[in-house]
Structure formats: structure tokens, C-alpha cells
Amino acid sequence: MKQRTLGRTGYQVSEIGMGCWQLGGDFGPIEDATSQATLKAAHDAGITFYDTADVYGGGRSELQVGHFLKGPGQGSIVATKVGRTAALFPDSYETDAIADHLRASANRLGVERLDLVQLHCVPVGLLEDGEIFRIMDEMVAQGLTAHWGASVETLAESRMCMTEPGCASIQTIFNLYRQNAAWELFDEAKEKGVGIIVRLPLASGVLTGKFEKGHAFPASDHRNYNADGASFSVGETFSGIEMDKAIGALDLIRPLVPEGMSLADFALRWILDHDAVSSVIAGVSRPDQALRNAAVSDLPPLGADIHAELRRIYQAEIEPMVRCPI
Ligand SMILES: NC(=O)c1ccc[n+]([C@@H]2O[C@H](COP(=O)([O-])OP(=O)(O)OC[C@H]3O[C@@H](n4cnc5c(N)ncnc54)[C@H](OP(=O)(O)O)[C@@H]3O)[C@@H](O)[C@H]2O)c1
């Protein structure tokens, strides 16, 4: 597993990381034993970077990661998030309340100080106002977290956060169905030394090619209850594209996949070919998925011709289907 530097944190992290939203149960029911087996498989495959949030499963995801950190996961780097609990969102971001949230996350993770706390898609007005950044600086000064970053919905929000000297990392949606960061964000991130954490690398799983049109997800799965953005930004589910259209668009991509390579591997490899990316936090709900994704680190880069064609296809055919601001 190749390592990359996570922006201003200076942490060395595995270029394939693990997204732990699944461990909270928002991709359908999951047993804690499966969560532990998945984390262990990720660790065994060389994954050293894990992304979670206080709200995933109401703290359950952090508890699972915390349990893992006491065992095989010792020494891993964990990024968590703050800002989407009912106590804070959308307009109660007081310093003391945020500090209490960070202490609660540290408790669940079983650590004295958090490695990285990301603002969790907080309202854009808060970013424009800027006071939230001073609060995050204060969280570092108080020793509650070593670093802070921001997980955001749009490239404009990324740019607002990146100008802050304290902002160590940006978490953004970036995949074959959401390519704009490659030409609108990455150069500036590299110049400023801000780490890029890529979420939704597989467009919620669609880019693996394993779903048929009309696929029915469990009621507790956001790919069911948020398929059209009923609960949070539509962009977080299937990258903002209507599911059947997203599945249909795979016909445009498939002819470019080299012989012997899976669609999922191709989608992840394409992301890793961008050197501004620090880590790709592929979300996984089973051990074999973690192993499979980790192995992409060893695959060779895709050719420049493939990259150019994928960009052309995206701009002509796919970007117009995205139902949220990019
Ligand atoms: N606002 C935010 O800050 C925010 C929002 C969204 C996500 N995130 C973070 O980003 C992480 C990644 O995003 P995501 O999980 O939403 O989307 P994703 O990584 O694009 O898709 C994850 C899904 O893809 C499927 N999958 C993964 N690897 C596979 C493989 N090798 N073979 C077959 N299927 C595979 C699994 O589906 P099944 O479960 O159906 O098997 C998995 O649940 C999350 O876990 C979370 O940590 C953050």
C-alpha cells in the first residue's frame, strides 16, 4: 500500500483509506462483528486511514472504530467530523458545545486527542461568516484535536475553507461522475499544501457496476431514503444523479476499462492518478470489499488517452445529470 502526505497535518496515510459511514448502518443493517471484521481486513491490507463522524449511527461508527483502535487498528489515523447533530445544526455552533462534541467523539474513539476533525457540511453562511474557523482553531489550541479540516458540498465551499491557514484538509466528492475538482480545485490545494480526502469514490456503489436499474435498497439505507435528497444533500447519494440514469451511464465508461480490470478498480485507479489526492476513503460494508479496494494501490496508472476520454464523456454526458450545485 502506497502512502501519501495528508496535507498540512503531515500525517503519512494509505492512499486507499476506509470510509466508515457504513458501520453506522446507513447502507443497510450491519452486525458489529462484520464491522470489526471489515476494519481488520482493511488493516491487514495496509489501510491506515479511517473516516467516520459523530452522527454515523448516532455514534455507533465511532464506537466501532474505537474498539478497533484498541486492537489491530492501534496507530491508525482517524478523521472524524462535527457539525451535523441536532444540537448544533444548523445554527447553534457555540464554542463550548463544539468542544463537548469533540470530547464525546474522543471518548467513543478511546483517544485523548483526536487526529483530525472535519466540519461536517455545515451551512455555507457559517463558512462565509468565518467565526466557525476561529472556533476550530480554538479546538486545536485546547488540545482537543491535532488538526481540523472541512468536508464540504461544493467547490466554492472548498475554496472558502482552504484560504484558512488552520484548514489542513478538504473532503470532497470526486469520482468518474463528479470530476470538476480535477481542474477547479486540485492545483490550488497543492499550492496551499491542503490535503484532499476523496469521498463517494464509487458514487455510493454504482461505479462498481453491481446494481441493476430499479435496484431496491433497504429502508434504513440512504440509497433508499435519500435517493432524491429527502434527508440531506442529494449529491451525497449516487453523486447526485438519479440512480437509473447513473447505472445507465456506465455504458459510456465500460468500453474504456482495460481487459482484466474491474469497473470498481478502474474507478478507484482513476482517482489515485491525481496526485493532489491524499487518500480515497472508499466506503465498505464487507471485508472482501476492503481487500479489493486496497489492492488498487498496486495497479499501474491509466493512460493519458483514457483520462482525456473520461473527461470528455463526463463534461458532455454526465455533468448535466448532476442534480446539485457542484
Ligand atoms: N458529508 C460527508 O462528509 C460524507 C458524505 C458521504 C460519505 N462520507 C464518507 O465517505 C465514505 C465513502 O463514501 P460512500 O461510502 O458514501 O460512497 P462510496 O465509497 O462511493 O460507495 C460505498 C459503497 O460501494 C460499495 N463498494 C465499495 N467497495 C466495493 C467493492 N470493492 N466491490 C463492490 N462494492 C463495493 C459498497 O456497497 P454495499 O454496501 O451495497 O455493498 C459500499 O457501501 C463514507 O463511508 C464516509 O466515511 C462523508
Nearest protein Cα to ligand 1, atom 11: 19
Task: For a ligand 1 pocket test, name from 56, 80, 204, 215 the mutation site with the most ligand atoms within 8 angstroms of its C-beta.
Answer: 204
Task: Determine the distance separating the centroid of ligand 1 and the alpha carbon of 19, expressed in angstroms.
Answer: 6
Residue 27 Cβ < 6 Å to ligand 1: yes
Is residue 86 situated within a structural domain? yes
Residue 208 Cβ < 6 Å to ligand 1: yes
User: Residue 34: what pLDDT?
Assistant: 98
| Cβ contact 197:149 at 8 Å | yes
User: Whole-angstrom Cα distance, residue 121 to residue 102?
Assistant: 16
Task: Determine the distance separating the centroid of ligand 1 and the alpha carbon of 140, expressed in angstroms.
Answer: 29
Is residue 313 situated within a structural domain? yes
Task: Determine the distance separating the centroid of ligand 1 and the alpha carbon of 237, expressed in angstroms.
Answer: 10
Task: Give Cβ neighbours of residue 281 (< 8 Å, ≥ 6 apart).
Answer: 17, 18, 19, 49, 50, 51, 171, 197, 198, 199, 201
Residue 1 burial (CB < 10 Å; 0-12/13-18/19+)? Answer: middle
User: Residue 206: what pLDDT?
Assistant: 98
| Cβ contact 279:14 at 8 Å | yes
Is residue 326 situated within a structural domain? no
Rounded alpha-carbon distances, angstroms, from residue 177 to 201, 217, 235, 245: 9, 21, 11, 11
Angle at 224 between CA 314 and CA 86, to 5 degrees: 100
Q: Domain range holding 183?
A: 3-321
User: Whole-angstrom Cα distance, residue 138 to residue 145?
Assistant: 10
What's the CATH code of the domain at 250? 3.20.20.100
Is residue 197 situated within a structural domain? yes
C-alpha cell read off for 27:
447502507
User: Residue 106: what pLDDT?
Assistant: 98
Split into its structural domains, the chain has a count of 1
Is residue 102 situated within a structural domain? yes
User: Residue 171: what pLDDT?
Assistant: 98
Q: 26-62 burial by CB neighbour count: b if 16+ within 10 A, else e?
A: bbeebeeebbbebbbbbbebbbbbbbbbbbbbebbbb
User: Residue 151: what pLDDT?
Assistant: 98
| 13 DSSP β-pair partners | 4
| 118 DSSP β-pair partners | 81, 149
User: Residue 183: what pLDDT?
Assistant: 98
| Cβ contact 167:135 at 8 Å | no
DSSP alpha helix (H) spans, the chain: 32-44, 60-70, 95-109, 124-129, 131-141, 155-162, 181-184, 186-192, 222-225, 243-248, 250-253, 263-272, 287-294, 304-313
C-alpha cell read off for 234:
442529494
Nearest protein Cα to ligand 1, atom 28: 289
Nearest C-alpha neighbor of 72 from the set 96, 48, 105, 97: 48
| DSSP codes, 48-63 | -EEE--TTGGGGHHHH
pLDDT < 70 stretches in the chain = none
Task: For a ligand 1 pocket test, name from 34, 38, 199 the mutation site with the most ligand atoms within 8 angstroms of its C-beta.
Answer: 199
Task: For a ligand 1 pocket test, name from 13, 18, 21, 117 the mutation site with the most ligand atoms within 8 angstroms of its C-beta.
Answer: 21
Is residue 242 situated within a structural domain? yes
User: Whole-angstrom Cα distance, residue 215 to residue 212?
Assistant: 6
Nearest C-alpha neighbor of 87 from the set 59, 68, 106: 59
Is residue 204 situated within a structural domain? yes
User: Whole-angstrom Cα distance, residue 193 to residue 7?
Assistant: 5
Task: Determine the distance separating the centroid of ligand 1 and the alpha carbon of 201, expressed in angstroms.
Answer: 7
Catalytic residues: 56
User: Residue 70: what pLDDT?
Assistant: 98
